[in-house]
Amino acid sequence: MEAPELVALLDGRRIAVLTGAGMSTDSGIPDYRGPDSPPSNPMTIRQFTSDPTFRQRYWARNHVGWRHMDETLPNAGHRALAALERVGVVTGLITQNVDLLHTKAGSVAVVNLHGTYAQVVCLSCGYTMTRAELAAELESMNPGFIERAEQVGGIAVAPDADAMVEETSEFRYLDCPHCGGMFKPDIVYFGENVPKDRVEQAYSMVDGADALLVAGSSLTVFSGYRFVRHAAARALPVAIINRGPTRGDHLATVKLDNGCSEILALLADELSPAISAC
């Protein structure tokens, strides 16, 4: 393990962190592109908005999947980053994940770059509803659906709270109660742009730090990769922890081909005393 080089790079520095789906694999949520990940085709915004059958299938699967995500607990990596924030080492955290596990672990300065699974929004009027409120409505419209789905076998939940459910043709989903418009999870789908104010907040986090740490992201999509490019352009050290190659490896000062939990827990042990003693 090359962790000493990573510790030496980050020691005494204020760190902005960017996390991806690999951050949550130890919590039981598979990532999209890791070497051991099952095949997965994430939702695109065009698929969701153009095809009622696709929306029906999505809401049926999400009706099952979001509950499993809501019950998922943070792992040692999430807890380590929260601990580093409490002692002033981590100054801000940008996550591409929608699972809220950083918040559950106690991190406060978090930019949820792609939104979270916990809210839905009307694409016509902007009305929002919590996912729990929507779940109650969907349950009354589809009594017993979850129980039937879970009887088929184990539920595999993707990073966007989608779950593998085979029979969805009878599922009834809800349109906006205010205007009748299309409800969508308040998540940035593939093909959508991250809101500009969210991007600017994330850039500010990087600008206010002395180093950028990437944990569990292949940086395949530009929404995360841009912050690595930004840090490198400002001559900030960039450290990457990820299983397998990433798009930003050529910009990394240190790259560890590892899972996140063990390395981040080590960083919390090694870096916290140095900061708290200052």
pLDDT at 89: 96
**What is the pLDDT, as a whole number, of residue 65?**
81
Annotated binding site for Zn(2+): 122, 125, 176, 179
User: What pLDDT sits at residue 41?
Assistant: 61
User: Given this model, what pLDDT does residue 195 score?
Assistant: 95
Q: How far, in Å, CA of 231 to CA of 241, rounded? A: 16
pTM for the model stands at: 0.88
Looking at the chain, the domain(s) classified CATH 3.40.50.1220 span 1-29+75-114+193-278
Q: What is the pLDDT of residue 1?
A: 47
Q: Which fold has domain 36-71+115-187?
A: SIR2/SIRT2 'Small Domain' (3.30.1600)
Instruction: In whole angstroms, give the CA distance from residue 275 to residue 203.
Output: 24
The residue ranges of the chain whose pLDDT is under 50 are 1, 33-39, 153-156, 159, 161, 163, 274-278
Decide if 32 contacts 221 (C-beta within 8 A). Answer: no
- Residues 6 or more apart whose CB falls under 8 angstroms from that of 72 comprise 24, 27, 28, 29, 99, 101
**Contacts of residue 60, Cβ cutoff 8 Å, sequence gap at least 6:** 142, 145, 165, 168, 171, 173
For residue 224, give the 3-state DSSP assignment: helix
102 catalytically annotated: no
Q: Could you tell me where in the chain the CATH 3.30.1600 domains are found? A: 36-71+115-187
User: Active-site residue among 114, 178, 230, 250?
Assistant: 114
Instruction: Tell me what pLDDT residue 68 has.
Output: 82
Q: Which CATH class is domain 1-29+75-114+193-278?
A: alpha beta
Strand-pair partners of 184: 121
